[in-house]
Amino acid sequence: MSNALPAIEVKNLTISYGPVPALLDVTLKIDSGQLVGIIGPNGSGKSTLIKSLLGFVKADFGEVLLFGEDAEKAKGRVAYVPQRGSVDWDFPITVREVALMGRFGKQPWWKELSKEDYEKADHALEQVRMADFRDRQIGQLSGGQQQRVFMARAIAQGGDILLLDEPFAGVDAATEKAILDVLESTREMGRTLVVVHHDLATAAEYFDSLVLLKQRLFAYGTPEQVLHPELLSEVYEGKLRIFANLQSGKTQGGAG
């Protein structure tokens, strides 16, 4: 594999659900070792883009390449952290067992997990500061702790690309800081992270680059380039409160 290949390359991607396009002619490249946020209003195609990177949806037109390979063929190199609302928290499974789920794809179905698999799962729990909770049933955790456990599962999987769907939603400030620390340390290990994010006020602080979507790609670049008041106003169609800090040159906003 050449190091020159981007981790993610999306070419003229169009995906429709019925007659309405969820994504329209989206083209972008994401290099390895980047922490990238995807922003945009509700229904703008953020989740569809994530699903296309996972190989879960087929394109009407265009293609998705991961390290130069079709997304369908490169599935083993991608790990996914879902939204908390999509998980059955009453399921009788422990924190350690969730982390071990990240190792199942590394073994044939008829083989038991190895000592190395357990070590990788335990190390992932240590990385997200959840090792002390490893025997706890997942429904007994706080929302932020649950999010960190599923991040451990993704880390244990060992994927080169981690996709996260709103990991900061509904967590307290301490957990938000802990999650950000994990994202940054994971990036420093050379992995590529793509994060669906809804809070424009923190987007500039958290990410190297931002993707601004509303069916089509409106902007992709540094936070300073993307978080431009006129651009945000166009995409969010006035449903945005924009607070420009003229001294720092940063733009803050929230949907409302």
Q: Specify whether the CB–CB gap between 206 and 8 falls below 8 A.
A: no
Residue 222 lies in a domain: yes
φ, ψ for residue 218 (rounded to 5)? -85, -35
SS3 state at 176: helix
Given this model, what pLDDT does residue 239 score?
62
Write down the pTM of the prediction: 0.85
- Which is it for strands 209-214 and 192-196: parallel, antiparallel or unpaired? unpaired
Given this model, what pLDDT does residue 86 score?
63
Residue bearing tokens 């190091």? 3
Q: Helices 115-127 & 173-188, crossing angle to 10 degrees?
A: 130
Q: Specify whether the CB–CB gap between 64 and 52 falls below 8 A.
A: yes
Residue 75 lies in a domain: yes
Residue 2 lies in a domain: no
CA 79 to CA 160: how far, in whole Å?
Answer: 8
- What single string gives the DSSP state of each residue in 60-88? SEEEEEETTEETTTTGGGEEEE--GGGS-
Residue bearing tokens 């020159």? 4
Residue 26 lies in a domain: yes
Given this model, what pLDDT does residue 176 score?
85
Q: Tens digit of pLDDT per residue, the chain (256 long)? A: 445 789 999 999 999 998 889 999 999 999 999 999 999 999 999 999 999 999 888 899 999 999 999 988 887 889 998 876 667 777 889 999 999 998 887 665 557 888 999 999 999 999 888 999 999 999 898 888 888 898 899 899 888 999 999 888 878 888 888 888 889 988 998 899 999 998 898 999 999 999 999 999 999 999 999 998 889 989 988 666 544 443 344 444 554 3
CATH of the domain at 94: 3.40.50.300
φ, ψ for residue 149 (rounded to 5)? -65, -40
The total of structural domains in the chain comes to 1
Residue 49 lies in a domain: yes
Residue 221 lies in a domain: yes
Residue 208 lies in a domain: yes
User: Which residue type does 202 have?
Assistant: T
Domain that holds residue 94: 8-255
SS3 state at 223: helix
